[in-house]
Amino acid sequence: MAAVLPIHYPRSLLRAFNVLPIEVWGPPQIDAGLGAAHLQAYVCSIVRNALAFLLSGGLEVTDLIVVPHACDSLQGLGSILIDFIQPRQDVLPLYLPRGNGERHIGYLIDELRAMYERLSKTTQRAPGDDELMASIQREETADEFLAELHQQRGKLTTYDFYRLIRAREYLPAEGFIELAQDILKQQGASRTAGIPIVFSGIVPEPMSLLQSITEAGGEVVADDLACCGRRLYPPGTSKDPFRRMAERLLGVPPDPTLGSPISARLEHLLGMVKKGEAKGVVFYSVKFCEPELFDLPMLRDGLQEAGVPSLTIEVDLSDPLSHQARTRIEAFLEMIA
Ligand code: SF4
């Protein structure tokens, strides 16, 4: 089993080595003191809590730790783990390119091959191209179901919907496919009960936030969350497993941690607003998240110019949902209703 830090990583490569990835988005609401002792005060709570969780033994069941370099904070965490803390588990960094051209794909292919070698050394296995392709196809099927769930949110409440799709963070692809099939069979007409909003940010934690949105009369009709909508990996086309994995990883919707231009992000958000007939956008950011904070002013200006109201809320994953955040969401929904 591998503990995997956010955001993008090759699930199919890990599974080809019989390694089950379990994602670590924080976790929220833990005592972060152990992590804080090793990090600057301005490092985000995703990284700080993950380090605290590791140091308190929370990742003892895992055999590997994968640290994709999504941002400076995660890159720093990778270095701290490798050079100073040196946990029992092997630490595998993954350097992701910032862009989606041919040279970025070539670079990522080399990174994935290097990861293959590391995994091979750790697990004493060497899956061939056929095994890699079978693993890729299984993940592609799971991602097709994930995309379908995003399209047909059906009868589920916002909270239940995000609990369901976030199962992709820990269930093996085959388990997720079964779950998605069951839910899709039961799905009826879409809910149109609440005030439709688009949700952007990193991770919807604490999840009670989503219940608060419903209680306040809102409904998330589409998202641009790093843990959800920004990871709708398209099916691949290449017959080469490494190229196919790289193309899929870089074929996602615009993401600041992959170097997407702000204009592409704005266009994507406006597209979601239009399609979901949303009345506003909520940016739900983790405090000190630089990739999000850099884009935010221009995204909000662009939305305003297009007549789309937006709200920004910042959270620390160790804190419970504050009354202030709830009140601001309620006031925003009242304003756009
Ligand atoms: S919340 Fe932002 S700064 Fe923190 S790990 Fe995620 S992308 Fe990096």
Count of residues in the chain: 337
Report yes or no: 286 and 315 within 8 Å, Cβ to Cβ: yes
pLDDT digits (tens, 9 = 90+) for 32-64: 989 988 999 999 999 999 999 999 999 999 999
Three-state secondary structure call for residue 181: helix
Confidence category of residue 150, pLDDT binned at 50, 70, 90:
very high
| pLDDT exceeds cutoff 90 at 210 | yes
Report yes or no: 288 and 176 within 8 Å, Cβ to Cβ: no
Confidence category of residue 153, pLDDT binned at 50, 70, 90:
confident
How far does Cα 207 stand from its chain's mean position?
Answer: 14
pLDDT digits (tens, 9 = 90+) for 160-199: 999 999 999 999 999 999 999 999 988 765 556 799 999 9
Report, as an integer, the average pLDDT of 279-291. 97
Task: Quote the pLDDT of residue 243.
Answer: 98
Report, as an integer, the average pLDDT of 301-313. 98
Report, as an integer, the average pLDDT of 136-150. 97
210: CA distance to ligand 1 center in Å? Answer: 21
Task: Give ligand 1 pocket residues (Cβ under 6 A).
Answer: 6, 44, 46-47, 70-71, 73-74, 202, 257, 286, 289-292
Mutate to test the pocket of ligand 1, among 289, 295, 317, 318 (most ligand atoms within 8 A of CB): 289
Report, as an integer, the average pLDDT of 248-267. 97
For the chain, the domains span 2-123
| pLDDT exceeds cutoff 80 at 154 | no
201: CA distance to ligand 1 center in Å? Answer: 10
Helices marked H in the chain — which ranges? 11-16, 33-36, 45-55, 72-80, 102-123, 129-151, 158-165, 173-186, 208-215, 241-250, 262-275, 290-305, 323-336
* For helices 129-151 and 241-250, angle between their N-to-C axes, nearest 10 degrees: 20
First to last CA, the chain: 46
Confidence category of residue 4, pLDDT binned at 50, 70, 90:
very high
- Mention every residue, 6+ apart, whose C-beta is less than 8 A from residue 6: 23, 25, 46, 68, 70, 74, 202, 203, 226, 227
Q: Which of ligand 1's atoms lies nearest the C-alpha of 5?
A: 5
Q: What is the residue with the minimal CA distance to atom 3 of ligand 1?
A: 289
Domain 2-123 CATH class label: alpha beta
248: CA distance to ligand 1 center in Å? Answer: 21
pLDDT digits (tens, 9 = 90+) for 56-95: 999 999 999 999 999 999 999 999 999 999 999 999 999 9
Q: What sign does the dihedral 161-11-230-82 (CA atoms) show?
A: positive
80: CA distance to ligand 1 center in Å? Answer: 16
21-23 and 2-4 beta bridge pairing: parallel
Q: Which of ligand 1's atoms lies nearest the C-alpha of 71?
A: 8
Both tokens of 9, joined, read 């990583």
Mean pLDDT of the chain: 95
Confidence category of residue 258, pLDDT binned at 50, 70, 90:
very high
Report yes or no: 257 and 7 within 8 Å, Cβ to Cβ: yes
Report, as an integer, the average pLDDT of 271-296. 97
Mutate to test the pocket of ligand 1, among 8, 73, 255 (most ligand atoms within 8 A of CB): 73
Q: Is 56 exposed, middle or buried (0-12, 13-18, 19+ CB in 10 A)?
A: middle
Q: Which of ligand 1's atoms lies nearest the C-alpha of 285?
A: 1
45: CA distance to ligand 1 center in Å? Answer: 8
Q: Which of ligand 1's atoms lies nearest the C-alpha of 45?
A: 4
103: CA distance to ligand 1 center in Å? Answer: 25
List, in sequence order, every residue forming a beta bridge with 276; answer none if it has no partner: none
Scored b (16 or more CB within 10 A) or e, 227-243 reads bbbbbebebbeeeebbb
255: CA distance to ligand 1 center in Å? Answer: 12
pLDDT digits (tens, 9 = 90+) for 102-118: 999 999 999 999 999 99
